[in-house]
Structure 1
Amino acid sequence: MSVLEDRRKKSWMIDTTPLRVVTFRRMWIGNGASFFGFQFTAVAVPVQMFAITHSPFWVGLLGVAGLVPLLIFGLWGGAVADVVDRRRLLLSSSALTWVVTLGLLTQAILGVRSPHLLLALTALQSVGFAISSPARQSIVPRIVPAELVPSANTLHYTTTTAGGVLGPLAAGLVMGVWSADVGVPVAYAVDALLFTVAFWATWRLPAIPPIEPDGSGEKPTAGLRGILAGLSFLVTQPVLLLSFAIDLIAMVFAMPRALFPAVAEDRFGGGAAVGWLFSAIAIGSLLGGLTSGWIGRVRRQGVALVVAVVGWGVAIALSGLAHQLWLMVVLLAVAGAADLVSAVYRQTIMQTYAPDRLRGRLQGVFTVVVAGGPRLGDLRAGATAQFTGVGTSWVGGGLLAAALALVLAAAFPALLRYRPVQELKENAER
């Protein structure tokens, strides 16, 4: 009993043991620096687009520009990561992302003011992300001992979440100190500079060639056949499909970030307010992660997932009604905490259902859903705001997401009935 209590106490603290592995430590530092820097670009691009067009619809189109390449290259990038040297793949895709960031900096300095160029550069940036993300995630088990992989992933998630909080706040300060004509180039320059740390860390990685098959299973392929094998498994699993569908509902109908520049300017006078809005959801996710010891004790994970998504939608709707910056930030943070809970259970459900031979390809699908949903949400929010107004788009989207999540769960109760496989086995043995 004392051993169990000791483990529970330790579960509240982050295990830093993987940082003793030099290669992982470099990669962790590089990833943290690049993600922090990318938040400057994530804020600067929509701010620049709104400054050029004064249209939430154009800001929403940035979501489409990021989504289409993600759909095309996300699944393919996951398959490629299983058949080539992952270090080389990560280097080449990172180089593409770095060049795009320099392109954003150049057009901002030259004052090109072209919304079409911003869309094109956003699309190219999404290509780099779609290819590099599966490779980066699949490298970790090759550079740290197997028993340290969960701790390594926890460190990575905590760092990126912290970057999601601090990066937009810092970018908001930049926008508050300078006008958009100056602040936007400065933000791109910070991103480009910090990305050099990630590129250095990737360069110092050892070669990570694919592991040769042992003849006991199908040889991985980067072609259509390998991708279809993963998708064929997915469509036969209703719980997995429902977990993906409910996440898409939450992100497509209740993601308000395309409206942040307009709301920051109209309600709060612009400046640093936009940074607080872009940071608020991540603040909630970070706090939710730091107080997440209870998550592993929940057995009805499907029910918890549905409740979290409904909570996300309701909190988003209420935040759209707020006319005080502090209140809007608090409500968005509540939504972020709910999103953290739903993300944990989605990932857990996928890991439970997916056999090891298909986890890479299903991770590619997971990446497309997780990264693609918010981009569709950007389009939905911007397009709706163009015709109904910013407030209606924001509040109505949150309420619609909550309602659709409840309807989907009631119509297809497999997700509500879901419990971890191990518990089902234990119940069967009783």
Structure 2
Amino acid sequence: MSAASATSSPPGISGKKPRVLADLTPLRTSLDYRRLWIGHTVSWLGQAMTALAVSLQVYEITRSSFSVGLVGLCALVPLVVFGLYGGAIADTVDRRKLGLASSAGLCLLSVVLAGAALAGFHRVWLLYTIVALQAMCAALNSPARTSMVPRLLPPEQLPAANALHTVTTTSGMMLGPMLGGLVVGYWGYQAAYLIDAVAFTAALYAMWRLPSMLPIRAEGAPAGRASVLDGLRFLATRPNIRMTFFTDMCAMVLAHPRALFPAIAVVWFGGDAKTTGLLVAAPAVGALLGGVFSGWLGRIRRHGLAILLAVAAWGTAIAVFGLTRNLWLGMFFLAVAGCADTISMVFRSTMLQAATPDEMRGRLQGVFIVVVAGGPRLGDFLAGSVADLTSPQVAVVGGGVACVVAVGLLALKWRNFARYDARSPQA
């Protein structure tokens, strides 16, 4: 970029040609990244189908909603535990081989589910075990896969790549359960599990075609050693990266009203289970739209400021949602919150990838998994507790306001975060 174009651009924005729709440049410029993205998109859709199928099968066996709820607990514990250690492993071994092994494990587990369903072996303990093992493999796979992306793309393409990742996750969460329900309804559980197993071949092929991805170590760093504690110590000395986690916790813990949607659907909107489904879907729709229309994000270079504004927008939208009693208006504000979350996620992920040395990326991606998996669940607990002690409105509105106040206090405490410039990333 020339000096003239740089000076003519507004503060915080590059001189690139304006773009509205998602930037597909990473898919065009890197064949390895394109394979990795397609493989993850296809396999994620299959995983979402399997997640619904397992929940349906557990309910059919037990007729207990509590038993279905335990499915999530079986997944959460391995995600948290192996998320941290999976990141440390990803900073020690060839990430390509770790991605291959964990993808093969997920594929094999889907085959086991399909075989058990075909054989008529319907046991809840088996389903719980498979879910826990799937979470363990996913916790090993994710740090390996995501830490590869900065090696496949130049830094200026990372926001676009993270926006494409958002399109994958949100579309999978929306379409996967719908397709899973149709497949189970017409052809049974075994069909959903077999489709998932076949879908993983796309991820396996993508990993297979990648070059070796050994971590790049700093000069003098010992080989074959990657301690989780070392990763946490590194994080403790990097305020900008630490802030990406703090701001996400503000949104997901303080202003996450998902657990209240069943009560809100009935009490506020006079609805039923279908109304609850609409409330749950609204943030996902907003998140998907945020990813689809993310082309402009690549022009932003003040990533820290963008995160602060996006998290504040999330909290504000949630608070306003808590004040409305019109269903469609409420869904609109939930969609706005979902869109804001996408913007925050894109820049948080980009900062984590760009400002972290390669030898630490796996471990910090492991911390990212823990925050992403644990934050919303803590938010569910907090919202439910506050609603029981006061009212759903106090929980929702108060949570949104608390989110905005908390992120404002964080911005005052660590002022350099708002000054973070993507052209010279500093952890």
Match status 1:418 vs 2:417: yes
Structure 1 range deviating more: 20-29 or 75-84: 20-29
Give the Cα separation in 1 of the matches to 2:399 and 2:308: 14
Give the Cα separation in 2 of the matches to 1:101 and 1:337: 32
Query: Displacement of 1:129 after TM fit?
Result: 1.1
Amino acid at match of 1:410: L
CA contact (8 A) 2:100 2:207 kept: yes
Match status 1:8 vs 2:16: yes
Structure 1 range deviating more: 157-166 or 100-109: 100-109
- Counterpart selection for 1:363 from 362, 365, 389: 365
Amino acid at match of 2:201: T
Give the Cα separation in 1 of the matches to 2:423 and 2:149: 31
**1:259–1:228 Cα change, 3 Å:** same
Amino acid at match of 1:69: P
Give the Cα separation in 2 of the matches to 1:353 and 1:413: 21
Give the Cα separation in 2 of the matches to 1:348 and 1:21: 18
Query: Displacement of 1:339 after TM fit?
Result: 0.7
Give the Cα separation in 1 of the matches to 2:420 and 2:379: 32
Give the Cα separation in 2 of the matches to 1:32 and 1:405: 33
Q: Percent identity of the aligned residues?
A: 37
Query: Displacement of 1:29 after TM fit?
Result: 1.9
Query: Displacement of 1:372 after TM fit?
Result: 3.2
Match status 1:154 vs 2:163: no
**TM-score, normalised on structure 2?**
0.74
Match status 1:193 vs 2:198: yes
Q: Which residue of 2 aligns with 1:79?
A: 88
Give the Cα separation in 1 of the matches to 2:150 and 2:353: 15
Amino acid at match of 1:97: L
Give the Cα separation in 1 of the matches to 2:241 and 2:25: 32
Give the Cα separation in 2 of the matches to 1:321 and 1:248: 23
Amino acid at match of 1:230: G
Give the Cα separation in 2 of the matches to 1:320 and 1:262: 13
Query: Displacement of 1:249 after TM fit?
Result: 3.4
Instruction: Classify the secondary structure of the residue corresponding to 2:35.
Output: helix
Q: Which residue of 1 aligns with 2:304?
A: 301
- The gaps in structure 2 that reach 5 residues or longer are none
Give the Cα separation in 2 of the matches to 1:37 and 1:61: 21
Amino acid at match of 1:165: S
CA contact (8 A) 2:147 2:365 kept: no
Query: Displacement of 1:130 after TM fit?
Result: 1.0
CA contact (8 A) 1:314 1:399 kept: no
Q: Which residue of 2 aligns with 1:128?
A: 137
Give the Cα separation in 2 of the matches to 1:29 and 1:351: 20
Give the Cα separation in 2 of the matches to 1:28 and 1:353: 22
Q: Which residue of 2 aligns with 1:406?
A: 405
Q: Which residue of 1 aligns with 2:220?
A: 217
- Counterpart selection for 1:137 from 142, 146, 160: 146
**TM-score, normalised on structure 1?**
0.74
CA contact (8 A) 1:101 1:188 kept: yes
- Counterpart selection for 2:107 from 93, 98, 105: 98
Give the Cα separation in 2 of the matches to 1:305 and 1:355: 21
- The gaps in structure 1 that reach 5 residues or longer are 426-430
**Pairing of 1:165-314 with structure 2 (within 5 A):** 165=171, 167-169=173-175, 171-172=177-178, 175=181, 187-203=192-208, 205-208=209-212, 210=214, 216-224=219-227, 227-257=228-258, 270=273, 274=277, 279-289=281-291, 290-291=293-294, 293=296, 296-297=299-300, 299=302, 301-302=304-305, 304-314=306-316
Give the Cα separation in 2 of the matches to 1:173 and 1:322: 32
Give the Cα separation in 2 of the matches to 1:337 and 1:126: 27
Query: Displacement of 1:415 after TM fit?
Result: 3.6
Match status 1:25 vs 2:24: no
CA contact (8 A) 1:101 1:191 kept: yes
Query: Displacement of 1:117 after TM fit?
Result: 5.1
Instruction: Classify the secondary structure of the residue corresponding to 1:418.
Output: helix
Give the Cα separation in 2 of the matches to 1:380 and 1:49: 27
CA contact (8 A) 1:254 1:316 kept: yes
Q: Which residue of 2 aligns with 1:428?
A: none
CA contact (8 A) 1:349 1:420 kept: no
Instruction: Classify the secondary structure of the residue corresponding to 1:293.
Output: helix
Q: Which residue of 2 aligns with 1:40?
A: 49
Instruction: Classify the secondary structure of the residue corresponding to 1:208.
Output: coil
Give the Cα separation in 1 of the matches to 2:369 and 2:394: 27
Q: How many residues align?
A: 410
Amino acid at match of 1:26: R
Give the Cα separation in 2 of the matches to 1:103 and 1:85: 27
Amino acid at match of 1:194: A
